[in-house]
Structure 1
């Protein structure tokens, strides 16, 4: 995941996680996950999740509701404040209904649907409109195919709601401080730890992580019964256990600019409300993602073609051509 991520990417495959469980016996697996099973070694986590994005946090909440002990590793030292992904489909919202009113919270805090249901094609944000498409259908909102509707809600806001729920059931967000001489406990989200190796030994998985302390890289080994890779499209876990990424790679490079402008948000809200603005003019082309018109939060994405182009070519004049 880059600095801003690809904000137009949808949550369409939110829970279609590719994973590999490294264990030999199904019945052993079932016993290890059971809340009634008492491990001889309390230092061994039943489930270790790598990745504290929406998938990892939701999985943590669901496992905890089922009585399965788990903890989370995250390579970033802090949670991102950039919008990132923003469209949540019906199936994901159905899962969120099982998390103590999460779906209802998202629907309550998201922008009104009339402000984001359209895709706008234009020569510039203040210029002529080439056309617009209402990408929502009746069944998206009238509970025809699902008991809950789709949503438009930035990923960092979703993460904040998930963290609030996890903290309510005893989860703690920690750095490496205070963990050097003790095992990773259940219901902990450990920040700043990068998974660097995975090794199966008997019925256990030994995960080696690396973190920086006082300018030095320090390694720590965390044993678990099950390891889940929820660390995104460039998953380190997937690569370490030999699961290939299917499909075409590196389809397009984009320069993304996250910015706030209540003035622009107010203008678009009254003149041409929409979620995505596809802008075409002789100076440049790009897509503006309107995460929240009321708050004036946007991400501008422009195609980037190295080596013909350099990042330095994208001056403020080029970026804000619209």
Structure 2
């Protein structure tokens, strides 16, 4: 019987990120996948700003920026006419170092994660499938079937189901997956093309009842078409059946089709994300419309949220109740995301005379005027980039100092280095102004890094309070915001939650 700390089922981006984060924290993992190889084509393309911020902890961000493509703006077309533009590079420049949409296809993304995982001596075990498991709240006994058909038994302290919408883990746990399926058939086409809508920006076309988006890739003549069609015969649908609209409405000149596929999309959220020592992440926990490029990023967010909590509990630095906060923090966001993407997609594809009138006649007149408002453009960027995702009011979040609340993403201060320390996988403290001698002593005694920034008007503009302390979780969200700046509140915070902060020097620095 083989043993590990965490057995991960599914080697898509969610499972790979979980494996990588846990390995970085010194946790023994196994990751299996029933496929023979990693994907060579991909539907997921977008890496949002918040993911790029978090990826600094694994030294992945610069590689993705080097090999991907920055999308500076999104354009809206209606019936072949350009209607509006949202320039990401302008509206997000004061919010994040990554004020753009990064295109880095999932197949390349997976290869990068697999390469980094190999640096920790962990490889994906291919053609290996979970057939069943039993768990008793303390550990999991999993039965695996390999390529040779032989059954293997694996004892794990925890099980992570990252095995997609048809998750074996979720079904075995008998966790409900309520929701529905969109009527439309989605298609993806990878093409070599030219034209005004193949210019390095994202283009979305609203038509009478179908949706079409053109995503740019790193090669300026290479693009990805994602669209819908009302056709019950998805298995027999060809590119010729759908190409006319792209050619006519968005003026795309297609030179070659590299690959084409169709699929159906669900909008569902699992009833629970945790049962005992078994967890659901990514598409196993929530699926939704691809509108906004949120799916892969949300799964990655699940993995990052869970990884540091698993490490703390498995190393007995936190009580088991810390694992309850994974579902508490992630399920609400998943439900909100499914509802939001469903509304957006339903607007873009609704049938009926009134719906068509609103979408093709009224919307083209109103949208340019609304998008011209700075606050609206900023709201769109904040939402799509996931920088507004927060855990305010939840068990691990406490306090307010200035405009910053416990549970929020730490605000970025343009022109400063306040994000530099966020590459560290540990609890840490930020003070903007002056830190007391007592706070310095508390941090030194416990091995918690303290970062003190000389106060400037830019810190006030970003919402910070002078001399307040901001305790950051290992996933860089603000755990505690405290005006007094005194260390007693830190002891109380950790004691009440049964957590011992890990000393930074114990981290695996590979």
Q: TM-score, structure 2 length as denominator?
A: 0.43
Structure-1 residue corresponding to 2:175: 243
SS of residue in 2 equivalent to 1:231: coil
Gap runs ≥5 in structure 1: 1-40, 171-186
Gaps of 5+ in 2: 248-510
Computing the radius of gyration over CA atoms, which structure comes out larger, 1 or 2? 2
Q: 1:135 to 1:80 in 2, by over 3 A?
A: farther
- Closer/same/farther in 2, CA of residues 289 and 237 from structure 1, 3 Å limit: farther
2:214 is matched with 289
Deviations 1:37-75 (Å, cap 9, x if unpaired)? Answer: xxxx8x311111111111111111111111111110112
Q: Say if 1:93 and 1:245 are closer, same or farther in 2 by CA, change over 3 A.
A: farther
1:97 CA displacement = 0.7
Cα distance between partner residues in 2 of 1:225 and 1:48: 8
**Which one has the bigger helix percentage?**
2
Q: Deviations over 1:20-49 (max 9, x none)?
A: xxxxxxxxxxxxxxxxxxxxx8x3111111
Give RMSD over aligned pairs. 2.8
Conservation of the 8 A alpha-carbon contact between 1:119 and 1:276: yes
CA separation in 1, counterparts of 2:112 and 2:221?
A: 18
Native 8 Å contact 2:75 2:85 kept in 1: yes
Task: Report the equivalent of 2:466.
Answer: none
Q: In the superposition, relative to structure 1, how do residues 265 and 109 fare at CA in structure 2: closer, same or farther (>3 Å)?
A: farther
Q: 1:74 to 1:296 in 2, by over 3 A?
A: same
Q: Does 1:229 align with 2:161?
A: yes
Deviation at 1:279, TM superposition (A): 6.0
**Equivalent position SS for 1:320:** helix
Provide the rounded CA distance (Å) in 1 between the counterparts of 2:45 and 2:33. 21
Give the distance between the partners of 1:265 and 1:167, measured in 2 at CA.
39
Matches within 5 A, 1:169-188: 169-170=120-121, 187-188=122-123
Match of 2:56 in 1: 97
Q: Helix, strand or coil: the match of 2:124?
A: strand
> Could you give the per-residue CA deviations for residues 188-230 of structure 1, whole angstroms, max 9, x where no partner exists?
31112222212125733111223443xxx44332221111112
Contact 1:86 1:291 in 2 (8 A): no
Which residue pairs with 1:174 in the alignment? none
Partner of 1:238: helix, strand, or coil? helix
**Structure 1 counterpart of 2:224, from 270, 283, 298:** 298
Provide closer, same or farther for how the CA distance between residues 233 and 146 of structure 1 changes in structure 2, counting only shifts above 3 A.
Answer: farther
- Structure-2 separation of matches of 1:88 and 1:257: 18
1:42-121 to 2 correspondence within 5 Å? Answer: 43-100=2-59, 102-114=60-72, 117-121=73-77
User: What is residue 320 of structure 1 aligned with on the other side?
Assistant: 243
Residues 215-226 of structure 1 aligned to structure 2 (within 5 Å): 217-226=149-158
Task: Show the counterpart of 1:275.
Answer: 202
Q: Give the whole-Å Cα distance in 2 for the aligned partners of 1:298 and 1:154.
A: 10
Alignment partner, residue 190 of structure 1: 125
SS at match of 1:133: strand
Cα 1:221–1:289 shift into 2, 3 Å: farther
* Contact preservation (8 Å) 2:198, 2:214: no
Q: Secondary structure of the residue that 2:26 maps to in structure 1? A: coil
Q: Distance in 2 between matches of 1:269 and 1:258?
A: 14
SS, match of residue 35 in structure 2:
coil
- Rate the CA distance shift 1:196–1:291 in 2: closer, same or farther, 3 A: farther
Q: Is the 8 A contact 2:5 2:28 kept in 1?
A: yes
**Count of residues paired in the alignment:** 243
**Gap change, CA 1:203 and 1:57, over 3 Å in 2:** same
DSSP-derived class of the 2:58 partner: coil
* Contact 1:111 1:294 survives alignment (8 Å): no
Which whole-Å deviations, capped at 9, do the CAs of 1:265-294 have from their partners, x for residues lacking one? 466445xx532432637xx94414324152
State the distance in 2 between where 1:197 and 1:65 align. 28
TM-score, normalization: structure 1?
A: 0.66
Whether the aligned pair in 1 keeps the contact of 2:114 and 2:124 (CA below 8 Å) is no
Distance 1:295 1:161 in 2: 24
Question: What SS does the corresponding residue of 1:234 show, helix, strand or coil?
Answer: coil
